[in-house]
Amino acid sequence: MKVSISTLEHRYQPGMTPTISAISHTFEPGTLTCITGPSGSGKSTLLYIMALMLTPSAGTIQWGNTSVQQLNDASRSRLRAMHAGFVFQDAMLDLSRTALDNVVEAARIAGISHNVAVEDASRLLERFGVAHRAQHRPAELSGGQAQRIALCRALVKDPDIIFADEPTGNLDSESAEIVWDTLHQAADAGATVIVATHDRDRAEKHTHHLRLSE
């Protein structure tokens, strides 16, 4: 699903200098776009706005042909649950649930039946080499394992859009490669993949690259 933003601006406080200003861009299905920029340039802010977790001060956001700022909170939540997966830098798993249940829950919220959700979630945990940690809670997982579970949680609903905020920032190189490979595969399969990253070298290799300035 295409994500288009037009003249987006965001101020965290009225009267403050905008954190992001006049950003317009279209992210196409089947592509992986890296958003880069110095620390504080607004990469996370932009991602949170596009993922409908933060309302911009001005500008428009479209998912496909839907102007999302015209929707109420419930409709936005539904749209996000159905169509988007988000990978945070620190996994941000639900600490009260097992690894498997974190993934199952995301599928359930997207409307997938319990049995299918458990099957799909188990298959993903197997694929990412963390099936043996399925019944463990996040506090018992390593950073790399937690991030793989977070990736499973984002992928389980086969999302049209994947947002990832520094998804490999805390990972060893082997786990980081798995995350990047997976994000590329999702784009190759038709998803719109948008990744905020400090990894300029990697981003330079991508045809799709949005640079924010300070």
Ligand X SMILES: Nc1ncnc2c1ncn2[C@@H]1O[C@H](COP(=O)(O)OP(=O)(O)OP(=O)(O)O)[C@@H](O)[C@H]1O
Q: Which residues bind ligand X (CB under 6 A)?
A: 12, 19, 37, 39-45
Do the beta carbons of residue 187 and residue 31 sit within 8 Å? yes
Do the beta carbons of residue 108 and residue 64 sit within 8 Å? no
Give the nearest distance from C-beta 183 to ligand X in angstroms. Answer: 18
Between residues 117 and 195, which has the closer beta carbon with respect to ligand X?
A: 195
3-state per-residue secondary structure call for 11-46: CCCCCCCCCEEEEEEEECCCEEEEEECCCCCCHHHH
Give the nearest distance from C-beta 198 to ligand X in angstroms. Answer: 6
Do the beta carbons of residue 213 and residue 37 sit within 8 Å? yes
Between residues 58 and 82, which has the closer beta carbon with respect to ligand X?
A: 58
Between residues 91 and 152, which has the closer beta carbon with respect to ligand X?
A: 91
Give the nearest distance from C-beta 74 to ligand X in angstroms. Answer: 23
Give the nearest distance from C-beta 55 to ligand X in angstroms. Answer: 13
Nearest to 65 by CA among 110, 1, 22, 139: 1
Give the nearest distance from C-beta 171 to ligand X in angstroms. Answer: 16
Residue partners of 41: CB distance under 8 A and separation at least 6: 212, 213, 214
Give the nearest distance from C-beta 175 to ligand X in angstroms. Answer: 20
Between residues 41 and 102, which has the closer beta carbon with respect to ligand X?
A: 41
Do the beta carbons of residue 188 and residue 30 sit within 8 Å? yes
**Contacts by residues 72-78 (CB-CB < 8 Å, ≥ 24 positions apart):** 76/52, 77/52
Distance between CA 202 and CA 36 in Å, rounded? 10
Q: How many residues does the chain have?
A: 214
Between residues 136 and 206, which has the closer beta carbon with respect to ligand X?
A: 206
Between residues 42 and 59, which has the closer beta carbon with respect to ligand X?
A: 42
Backbone angles phi, psi at 168, to 5 degrees: -115, 10
Amino acid in position 73:
D
